[in-house]
Amino acid sequence: MDFTKLLQQAVVDAKAMMPQAKTDLYYYVSKVKDAVNDTTANVCKVELLPVEQDVYRLYFKCSNNPNAFFGLGIYVVAMGYPIARWHSLERWQNNPDRWDVLYRTSESLDRHFQNMVSRPSRLVRLVLKYSPVHTHSRNWFWGSSNDQNQ
């Protein structure tokens, strides 16, 4: 078996997968971004920003509260699929070789982002807490100062 040919083919395959993985990441983030914009009347948003080459940070922020800036994960697309994810910037900085989750296919990445908007995820909690459109829901989910006095 020729190990050189195997390695060369692996490099060619990885290069071929890189553009698709990045395209998928941006596509699914755009779907989440649209959902947050529509649900919060464009007050809150989700953004994907590069941290360094092939490393992206997903975050949530709201224009009505400058302190509402929360990380939603770090995604590394260094060689295409699988895409590695860390739950926080700190986890990635402290353990760059120990990801929290691997998304091996476009379908698994799609499921991740669908879960982010359809389950009681951190994103859903943040929308409930910071979106002025959903202020009536805050006390139920987060509790209010009045609840503590009762």
pTM for this entry: 0.79
The structure tokens 């360094």 sit at 52
pLDDT at position 14? 75
Domains identified in the chain, total number? 1
The mean of the pLDDT values for the chain is 86
82: preceding bond cis by omega (within 30 degrees): yes
d(CA 90, CA 104) in angstroms, rounded, equals 23
| Residue 102, domain member (yes or no) | yes
* Residue range(s) defining the domain that contains residue 75: 13-131
Mean pLDDT of 44-63: 95
* Residue 54: CB atoms within 10 Å: 16
Confirm whether 59 is domain-assigned: yes
Given a cut of 60, whether residue 67 has pLDDT beyond it is yes
Q: What is the pLDDT of residues 97-144, one digit of tens each?
A: 999 999 999 999 999 999 999 988 999 999 998 887 755 444 444 444
